[in-house]
Amino acid sequence: MTFNDYQQAALKTASNDKPLEFYHRVLGLVGEAGEIAEKVKKLIRDGDGKTESLDTEDITKELGDVLWYIATIADYLDIPLESVATTNVAKLADRQKRNALKGSGDNR
């Protein structure tokens, strides 16, 4: 499955009838990312902090929710998911080439 195939499949389950759908999706993305962070927090709080202790099936589902929101937000903005992926990889490769992976700021 390509990124764009996934995006089209994800859109079959997306609703566009909410007047503030873009904001709903952005907040949904943050919420799902927060669920992953919460699981990692509990791994540290209640466990040994080792990633081997994570329930990978559960994390896979949560990552899928994050991906769904990314795909539908990109579509809302008329951006193919493939473009999001290739742009990101190119940006990171450029930073790596310039030895600028570490640090902060979008334009490093």
Domain membership flag for residue 102: no
Domain count for the chain, please give it: 1
Domain membership flag for residue 108: no
* Domain with 52 in it: 3-97
Annotate 40-102 with DSSP letters as a single string: HHHHHHHS---GGGS-HHHHHHHHHHHHHHHHHHHHHTT--HHHHHHHHHHHHHHHHHTT-SS
> What's the pTM?
0.89
Residue that is written with structure tokens 């937000």 in the block: 73
Domain membership flag for residue 67: yes
Radius of gyration of the chain (CA): 17
Q: Is 32 exposed, middle or buried (CB count within 10 Å of its CB: 0-12, 13-18, 19+)?
A: buried
As a whole number, the mean pLDDT across the chain is 93
CATH of the domain at 64: 1.10.287.1080
Cα dihedral angle (87, 93, 94, 99), rounded to 10 degrees?
150
Percentage of the residues of the chain whose pLDDT score is greater than 90: 78
Domain membership flag for residue 103: no
The pLDDT tens digits for 4-24 are 999 999 999 998 888 899 999
Domain membership flag for residue 28: yes
